[in-house]
Amino acid sequence: MCLAIPGQIIEVKEIGGLRSARVQFGGIVRQVCLDFVPEAAAGDYVMVHVGFAITKVDRLEAERTFRALQEMEGLEDELASSSSESH
């Protein structure tokens, strides 16, 4: 349950004073809080856990990790448990 999922930031917005982003994970887009990675910008890749980005990664790492998580069925808990863009 401590797995974080890599995704790419599509768009950054300020919502109620908080930095929030639309992040794409494979085919799914989610609203993600960027407060823990203030330096992250559109186009960057971040590791996301329970709707919060916790670290930046490069594209290669993001793609590798995403594939590995797919293989270990680690994406299901993080991505399938609610609808996308749920915030």
Partner 1 sequence: MRFVDEFREPELISKTADEIRRLAGTERHYRMMEVCGGHTHAIYRFGLKDILPENIELIHGPGCPVCVLPMGRIDDGLAIAHEPDVIFAAFGDMMRVPGTQGSPLEHKARGMDVRIVYSPADALKLARLNPEKHVMFFAIGFETTAPSTALTIMRARSEGIHNFSVFCNHVTIIPAIRAILDSPDMRLDAFIGPGHVSTVIGCRPYEWIAHNERKPIVVSGFEPLDMLQSIVMLLRQLNAGEAKVENQYKRVVPWEGNRAALKAMAEVFELRPYFEWRGLGFISQSALRINDKYAEFDTEQRFEVPGIRVTDPKAAQCGEVLKGVLKPHQCKLFGRECTPEHPIGALMVSSEGSCAAYYNYEHRKAAMVTLSLAG
Subset of residues 42 to 71 that bind partner 1, contact rule: CB under 8 A? 47, 49-52, 54-55, 57-58, 61, 64-65, 67-69, 71
Residue 8 interacting with partner 1 (CB under 8 A): no
What's the closest the beta carbon of residue 42 comes to partner 1, in angstroms? 19
Q: What is the DSSP string of 9-55?
A: EEEEEEETTEEEEEEEETTEEEEEE-TT-TT--TT-EEEEETTEEEE
d(CA 46, CA 58): 8
Positions in the binding site for partner 1 (CB under 8 A): 1-4, 16-18, 33, 35-38, 47, 49-52, 54-55, 57-58, 61, 64-65, 67-69, 71-74, 77-78, 81-82, 86-87
